[in-house]
Amino acid sequence: MALAALLAELEHRDRAPAISLRRDVLRRLNELNGQGTARENLQPGLEGAKDDRSQPNSESGARTAGSSTTGNAQSRSAPSQDGNLRRPAHLKQMEPLGVTGRPSKYTPRLKTDVDLPITNEMARAARYAVALATLVAEMRRQRQGTRQIALENGERVALDRGHIGYIFSFAEDADLFEDARVELRIGARTIEGNIASITDGRIIIAVDEDLGEALIRCNLVIDNTALLEALKEKLEKSSEEGRQLNVKLADDVVTNTGKALPAEAPLSDAAYSGLNEKQKDAVRLALANAVIYLWGPPGTGKTRTLSVLIQELFARGKRVLICSNTNRAVDQVLFNLCRTL
């Protein structure tokens, strides 16, 4: 039945390898049905089909057309004397585990290796700064450093310190942050600016010159390396100024070290009413440990759990900093927190 289904599929293929395979399948079916040789029962159009597998080549060795085995004996591929593989006499749907004579698993090699000027004596922050600088250079070399987004119908707004801004509708989920350097391209003109404000649904670009009451159409050119550059500069600046950073906490986060402490009991059960048991355990563990990782697919309540955790920390008089690589994630946490409080 499997050979018949394969033959029916091959009826719709007209390329040489498919025609050649169709010959083998039909030959095998004829042998199983006891109808004599395959050539006597070939379908019209197959007699003249070119079987490029009958030609010798350097990889599989010589093979004569029409060679086959009869009966129920199964043949397995075996390496030839020169180390190359030979094509099996009969095709089978599946080989048993452990069949020999197969090529090893293909492992791709990296096209480029980058040597970083890093020594063991360097602090982790300094190492990261070097790695970020190399990443930024590589992104720019591969022309991945910029991205353009079309903006329309921008209205002029007044900003502080004499700056002029233009407000646009903005629904892109781009990795942008306030004060990031950007460019506005209007026709052949390129005007430098920075992001004055970015919220859900709108963006304000600050520029140094008045471009009129409205900008009908322009392109926002985003530097994809801006966030990496800002992080690199912060790391370098903190090292130069000799700030007292909590290096141990940073190392524990990176290396995932430290002993997990048991969960704390909550102050009150009122804030936990909307959480399931796993989410409640996550809040209690976070209250007891300096570092905790909360993982879950979309829709499993991570944002809700974080909101309850922040509410509990607020009730204990703690200061809380919320940050993320996207503005939308922070907005969702704040929305749940405001709704709760």
pLDDT tens per residue, range 5-21: 888 888 877 788 888 88
How far, in Å, CA of 29 to CA of 90, rounded? Answer: 12
Write the pLDDT tens digit of every residue in 232-252.
888 888 766 656 667 778 878
The encoded tokens of residue 249 equal: 């906490």
Quick one: average pLDDT of 290-302?
A: 87
For the chain, the domain total comes to 3
- pLDDT for residue 70: 39
Q: Is residue 89 part of a domain?
A: yes
- pLDDT for residue 131: 92
With a cut of 70, say whether residue 276 has pLDDT above it: yes
Pick from 138, 131, 85, 147: nearest CA to 111: 138
With a cut of 60, say whether residue 69 has pLDDT above it: no
* Buried b / exposed e along 106-140 (16+ C-beta atoms within 10 A): eeeeeeeeeeeeeeeeeeeebbbbbbbbeebeebe
Query: 223 or 50, which is more confident?
Result: 223
pLDDT confidence bin for 113, thresholds 50/70/90: confident
Q: Tell me, yes or no, whether 253 and 335 share the same domain.
A: yes
CATH, residue 212: 2.40.30.170
Write the pLDDT tens digit of every residue in 133-177.
999 988 888 877 788 888 999 999 888 767 789 999 887 766 677
Q: Is residue 240 part of a domain?
A: no
- pLDDT for residue 57: 42
Residue 19, helix vs strand vs coil:
helix
Q: Is residue 117 part of a domain?
A: no
Residue 77: which domain range?
A: 1-93
Q: Is residue 120 part of a domain?
A: no
Q: Tell me, yes or no, whether 287 and 322 share the same domain.
A: yes
Q: Is residue 201 part of a domain?
A: yes
Q: Which of 93, 116, 132 marks a domain boundary?
A: 93
The stretches of 92-186 forming alpha helices (DSSP H) are 124-141
Q: Is residue 105 part of a domain?
A: no
